[in-house]
Each structure stands twice: as C-alpha cells, then as structure tokens.
Amino acid sequence: MIYNAPVKDMVFLIDEWIGIDRVTSLPGYEDMDRETLEFILEEAGKFCSSELLPINRQGDEHGATLVEGVVKAPPGFKQAYQAYTEGGWTGIDADPQYGGQGLPKLVQFQVDEMLSSCNLAFKLYSELSHGAYHAILANASKELCDRYVPNMVAGTWSGSMCLTEPHCGTDLGLLTTRAIPVGEGSYKISGTKIFITSGDHDLAENIIHLVLARLDGAPSGPHGISLFLVPRSLVNEDGSLGERNGVSTGSIEHKMGIRGSATCVLNFDDAIGYLVGEENRGLSAMFTMMNIERITVGVQGLGFAEIAHQNALNYANERLQGKAPGERPDPGKTADPIIFHPEIRRQLMKIRCQVEGARALAVFAGFHADVAARATDSELSERANDTLALLTPVIKSYLSDLGMSSTLSAQQVFGGHGYISEHGMEQLVRDCRITLIYEGTNEIQAIDLVTRKLTMKGGDLIKGFLSYWERFLETEGKTDSLAACLDPTRAAFQRLSEATGWIRNELQTDQARAMGAATDYQRLFALTTVACLWTHIIQSIADKQGALYDSKRKTARFFMDHVLPETAALHRVVTQGGASLADFDDEDFHTG
C-alpha cells in the first residue's frame, strides 16, 4: 500500500481557511506559525508512512497474542512504539508542565488522521492513554496527576478505559463492579470488564486503568457510579514500580479487524484503586474521556477514507481495462487505465469531495476545542464548547460512516483484486468496521444528538448553531465563484431547519417517533454542515487563483451535485417516515 500524508490540504485548512493568526491569538499557542505547523505535520507523515504502514499487514496477520497470562503485541510493534515515544508523539497536545508539547488540539486531530490511515491497531495502544490523560487531568487530585500523568504523557506508561461488562454495554447503569474503601484514600476494586482496548500489552512498563465501579450503598443506576484509577502495577512512593496489582487478563478477543490491537477481558480481584473526582460522579468524569474519544474515532474513519482513496486512485491510474469513451489517452493501445472511465472517476471523486469536507469539519471542531480550552473571553469559550458538544455525535458518526463507505468504494475500484489480501483493501474494510461500533454505536450517537443535544440549554445549542450559518448564508452575495455552492447549500439548510423543528416538536409529543428518525436526521445534519463548510471555504478563496484553489472549487461543486442532493430524501424520511414505522406492532416482528 501507499500513503502520502495530505499535509498540503491540512495546512491550507488551518492557515488559509481557519487562519493561523486565530490559533496563535490563544494563550499558549503564540509560537505556532505556518512553518512550524508544516514541519510537524510533515514529520508525522514521514513517521507514519515509513514506520507504521509497513507493519500494518503483519500486525493483522499475526495479531496480538496471550501466552501464559501475558499479552504480546505483534512483531515490529515494540520497536515502532519506542521510536514513537522517543519522537514525542504521545504528548502532542499534553500540558508542558507534565512533559507534553502543548500544541493545539486541531494539530493533534491531523496527526490522529495520519496514524489512523497507516496503522489503527498500533495507534490504539496509545490512543486510550490520551483520553485517560485528559480525564485524569480534569478530574483527579494534584497528587494523582503528579504521580501518574508525566509517565503517561511520555508513553512510558499507557492507559485504558474500563466501562463495559459482560451484561451491560451502553447502559452503564447496570454495571456491577464493586469498590470497597480500605483507608488512606484507596479502594479495593472487584469485577470483570470486557472489550478493553489495550487492556494489557508489553509495549509500556505500566498500564493505568480508569475503571467505573459502584461503592456499597451508592444509588442505583448511572447516578451511583464512581471512577477509579487502577494501575496494573502499584507505584512506590519514590515513583518506581512495585508489585503487580490484582488485575489479570482473562482472554483477548478474536476480532474481524484491528487484530494487532489487544482487546482484553480484564479481571479485577481486590485491585487497589484511587478515586478520581467525587463519589457517584464517575460517569461525568469518564465522559471527559469519552467525548474526546468519540471525535477521535470519527477522525479514524477519515483516516481510512483518505488512504483508501489514495490507493484506489493509484490503482486506477495503473490498471488497464477496456477502451475509454470519448477521446482516448493513447489510441494505439488495446486498453486504457480505468481512471479514464467515467464511473471510476465518479467513485473516486465521491470519496475525495467528502474526505476534504470531512477534514474541514475535523479542523473546525479542533479549532473550537482549542477556543473552548484556551480563550480568555468566557462567553467565547462557552460558545465554542457548545458548538463542540453539538458536533461531537455528528463527527463520530458521519466520519466513521464515511470511512466505511469509502473503503468499500475503493475496494470496488480494485474489483477482484480488492477482495484478496494482496493489495490491503480488504484489511481496510475489516479494520474500519469497528469505528461505527465502539465509543457508542452510530445509532447511539444519533439518539444522543436528538434527545440530548437538541434540548440542551433549552435548545440554545442548536438555535445558536443554526443562527450562525443562517446569517452567513443570507448575507453572502451570489458571486460567480459561489454560485455553484450557495443555492444548493441554502436549500439543504432550509431542509435541516425544518427537520430540526419537526424533531423538537415530536420530542414533546411522541419521543419514539423522534428517535425513529434520529439516524436519518443525523446524516441530514452532517451533510448540510459539510455543505456550509464547503461554501465558507469557497468564499474564503474567492479572490485566489492557482491549481489548489481551482481544485477546491471543482471539488466543492462535485459535492453539491453528487452528494448534497441526498438531503432532499433524508428530509422526507425524517418528516414523513414516522407513520409507516409506527404501523408495525410488536407481533409484526415475529411473523413471516
């Protein structure tokens, strides 16, 4: 497989569209400039393509293994992990006081995309550490932060997130893992957790598990859950590693994809843990981590779509099949590269226009995450945080759906060669599939968007978001360069506004009908938002000439013509499809 990091597009979006000056105006980011940004992204791209892509296939073929209770990562992963930590890639956006580089989150998201493109199984060994770091830093005592965070930032120790149990997945209120206080701020944790990504491995010296558990006498349901930090090995007063804690690996899962990543069943048997945050407030503390991971999972899907497109495009330029319609590149040859066939071009451009729009959405979210965390104006910070909260389920679902559809389309371009393992396309399909499932399935994201995000702050989140884009679309004049974007985007936006009103009304009278339309509404929301971003991008380059800008204008127009029309069908399904769904009674699902 091939991979060339899309640094040029990333730098364009951050520097020329968002504006690098808007990033450097935030406290702590003053030293960031275009040259520094470009250097970091180019180095990340080189590392991913030279170190991680070559071991991706062998990670899939060999997989992680469990031998006599010890989990071992696939061959080559240990050496790559050492180079990864030595390069400082585990602490890109981490606080410098704990050894991090303190770079913007929007830079972190771009590196996340590259890592996901080249080797998601490898990335997962440090990805949960990143989320655990943020959860600990936001909720734990200074003592716990000082003791555990520096080694996590350095990658010497890694982290995991332990939520799911054999009898409960998304419904965490059903969990039964117990925590018993034993004095001096410590607890004994007992229970079993499943589907634990990087729950055990031999890449890091220690693993810091964040475990949801219930104290005796705690309220039932989700309001009685606490969060605990449980190290695989205990840590001595001097910071050295002590004896093994009461944490063991029961098994590792045999999976469809990401086989190089160890997904573990973990048994906690009177394991010593430490409370993170307040008692019975563990779920809100864990969601500090979950919300970051949901955006990151969306970016994983974007990474898959990017590398799938690159390889399909490369193959289409090399594969000779049939004679192209119209003017042929070389009439003397018996067959032409399949890139000259309109259907192949359509498939490739449908991936590309969505990838570039999705990357803009990731950059947009990353910038708002940085503003929310760093802006000195509290009102500005709150608005950015609201936007990020609203977009989180949309980003997770739309970008992961895009990864799946793109890997399948790219595999189709390869034909029969895409179905065999030689070209790596079937592995992309298998590896990408999990992104639609973990960190809350995309259906859960849709329900979260409809039932929670549209109603937060009395509906102010969605009102503010729609008002912002309505003002932009109304005030922007229809210049020649914008004509191909503005009218279709305005039409899609009108559909989204009407569907949003319909959903909010149904929530008051028939919640089941609103939830039945959630997935289609979520996609309508995503496509319309990306159309707004494309229009904003084209507006920002209205006076610029050159190959890059001409390509952007052509790609935006293709999105408007070939992807955005789907919003008309989605609007109809959302607003009119509820009756036929409600017609089915329980017994209808047990007949036939």
Question: Six-digit token pair at 75?
Answer: 């061959």
Q: Which helix (H) or strand (E) holds 252?
A: strand 247-252
Helical H segments across 76-141, by residue range: 77-86, 105-139
Burial class (CB in 10 A: 0-12, 13-18, 19+), 557: middle
Q: Which helix (H) or strand (E) holds 67?
A: strand 65-67
Angle (nearest 5°) at CA 418 between 326 and 50: 105
| Given 113, 293, 306, 439, the catalytic residue | 439
Q: How far apart are CA 458 and CA 463, in angstroms?
A: 9
Nearest to 160 by CA among 65, 52, 266, 239: 266
Relative orientation angle of helices 425-432 and 282-318, to the nearest 10 degrees: 160
In this structure, are residues 537 and 552 in contact, taking their beta carbons and an 8 Å threshold? yes
Angle (nearest 5°) at CA 480 between 477 and 481: 90
Catalytic (active site) residue 439: yes
Phi, psi of 165 (to 5 degrees): -125, 165
Residues 6+ apart with CB under 8 A from 564: 488, 489, 492, 527, 528, 531
DSSP character string of 30-48: TT--HHHHHHHHHHHHHHI
Q: How far apart are CA 175 and CA 268, in angstroms?
A: 14
Residues 6+ apart with CB under 8 A from 553: 481, 484, 538, 541
Other Cβ atoms closer than 10 A to 137: 18
Where in the sequence numbering do the catalytic residues fall?
Answer: 439
